[in-house]
Amino acid sequence: MNLNDLNQLRNLFLKNANPFLALKMKSYMRNQFEFFGIQSPLRRELTSQFLKEYGFPHEEQVVETITELWNMNERELQNAALQVIDMRKRKFHQEDIKLIEQITIEKSWWDTVDHIASNHAGHYFSLYPEQLFIADRWIESDNFWLQRSAILYQLKYKHNTDAERLFTYIRKVSESNEFFIQKAIGWSLRQYSKYNPEAVRDFVESNPLSNLSKREALKVLNRTSLS
């Protein structure tokens, strides 16, 4: 596959476009992005079909391919880029954090940022823990999407979660007025409570968190205590 072939992917999406769904999707995303109107299962199938026909990008062209998809207009093409990264993440190179950060701060919204954080950044930092100083930089950033990513990258770590780092990050942004930060705090704590309920309950009780963060954090614990 070469960069010129990406127009064939766009044409494939165009052939399967649904204008009615496109308007609904655009409205759901607060009119920030254009859409073909292709739902996720079909979009994944079409992307796989394209990659099977044209081949996976050569290693030296992967970053350029993803960047090109990211720069295209319709949101489904950014999701296709994420699918390409999903297929390649086991081969992450140390310098790929630049791409991860780039697509986090460009065309940012929860639909892409959360996938990148929990799947790509999370896997990257498990491969290159010596690069965690970058996550430390994210939590100190003025960009709340980077802050959200720093909180969420451990979502799939389960028992391997670095609780001290997670709790430290949360304390740094707990007074933020940003909804997406408060929601991320609650989500990360709720997820970790499945593996270390005592630590999460102690943290929530010992730290000044917003009502939203507390409510989200304790959902699993409160449900368990009632059963």
Please determine whether the domains at 1-91 and 131-226 fall in the same fold group of CATH.
yes
Is 141 in a helix, a strand, or coil? coil
pLDDT in the model for residue 2:
82
Task: Return the CATH number of the domain spanning residue range 131-226.
Answer: 1.25.10.90
Number of Cβ atoms within 10 Å of the Cβ of 181: 22
Distance between CA atoms of residues 148 and 165, nearest Å: 14
Show me where the domains of the chain are located: 1-91, 131-226
Here the contacts of 99-104 (C-beta below 8 Å, separation 24 or greater) are 99/63, 99/66, 99/67, 100/124, 101/134, 101/138, 101/146, 102/67, 102/70, 103/66, 103/70, 103/78, 104/145, 104/146, 104/149
Backbone region of residue 206 per phi and psi (left: phi > 0; alpha: psi in -120 to 50; beta: other values): alpha
**CA-closest candidate to residue 91, choices 128, 131, 37:** 128
Task: Return the CATH number of the domain spanning residue range 1-91.
Answer: 1.25.10.90
pLDDT in the model for residue 223:
86
Global pTM value: 0.96
Cross-strand partners of 227: none
Run means of pLDDT, 10 residues per run, the chain, 227 residues: 91 99 99 98 99 95 97 99 97 98 99 99 99 99 99 99 99 98 99 98 98 98 76
Question: How many alpha carbons lie under 13 Å from residue 51 in its C-beta half-sphere?
Answer: 18
